[in-house]
């Protein structure tokens, strides 16, 4: 999917993940020059970023979303921000010297607030920010996804499959409860657009959709 401006100043696109080869989502907060969980746009992605940015910071919702950070970092010499609890997993990756750490609760580039989720993986993080037009947004990592019919990414909110929740079947219910509790806390923030790493964003009514999900 080619980049499109889903809210004023917020761009979204999908592209095939270089490892798992399925379509996943990336976001560019243009006024702040911040890329979230970056994949290069289809076609000449670096050229598109030069024209519309260029990006000055990359922020990961967890360390598994490294994706095209090596290419973006090299092209634009920008730092890649990762929750400090996931840094060990990035040892040896190309571009590791550009990685900067943050703690959940800190405010990052562009006024983006980091919030702890902490379940599924220790560095699972939600990012909250408000666009210049006043639209509140919440970006989440892997704890909740949209999987529609036939593998489309426009379905109802759901957990990832149990096999990806926890190595032990006995731990699945505990992790789901922890994720639901974390998302319930995030409902106290002021936002409406839900930005998913796996699945299409919900530009309007995302908070209501997440509230229904955690209630179930």
Tens-digit pLDDT profile for residues 4-52: 999 999 999 998 877 776 889 999 999 999 999 999 999 999 999 999 9
Backbone φ and ψ for 167, nearest 5 degrees, come out as -65, -35
Q: Distance (Å, rounded) from C-alpha 129 to C-alpha 139?
A: 9
- For residue 153, the model assigns a pLDDT of 66
What does DSSP assign to residue 18?
T
The DSSP H or E segment spanning 73 is: helix 69-76
What is this structure's pTM?
Answer: 0.94
- For residue 148, the model assigns a pLDDT of 62
Q: Regarding beta strands 80-83 and 99-102, do their DSSP bridges make them parallel or antiparallel, or are they unpaired?
A: parallel
In order of start, what are the domains of the chain with their CATH numbers? 4-215 (3.60.15.10)
Q: Which residues, given as ranges, of the chain have pLDDT below 70? A: 21, 148-153
- For residue 154, the model assigns a pLDDT of 74
- For residue 1, the model assigns a pLDDT of 87
């Amino acid at each position: 999917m080619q980049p499109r401006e889903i809210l004023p100043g917020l761009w979204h696109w999908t592209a095939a993940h270089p490892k798992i080869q399925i379509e996943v989502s990336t976001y560019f907060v243009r006024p702040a020059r911040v890329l979230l969980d970056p994949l290069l746009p289809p076609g000449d992605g670096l050229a598109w970023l030069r024209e519309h940015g260029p990006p000055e910071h990359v922020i990961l919702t967890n360390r598994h979303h490294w994706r095209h950070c090596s290419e973006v970092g090299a092209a634009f010499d920008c730092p890649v921000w990762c929750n400090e609890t996931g840094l060990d997993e990035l040892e040896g990756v190309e571009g590791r010297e550009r990685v900067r750490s943050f703690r959940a609760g800190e405010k990052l580039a562009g006024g983006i607030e980091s919030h702890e989720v902490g379940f599924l993986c220790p560095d699972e993080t939600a990012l909250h920010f408000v666009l210049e037009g006043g639209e509140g947004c919440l970006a989440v990592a892997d704890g909740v996804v949209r999987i529609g019919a036939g593998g489309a990414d426009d379905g109802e909110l759901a957990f990832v499959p149990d096999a990806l929740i926890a190595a032990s079947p006995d731990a699945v219910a505990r992790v789901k409860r922890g994720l639901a509790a974390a998302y319930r806390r995030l409902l106290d923030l002021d936002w409406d657009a839900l930005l998913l790493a796996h699945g299409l964003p919900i530009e309007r009514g995302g908070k209501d959709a997440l509230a229904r999900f955690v209630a179930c």
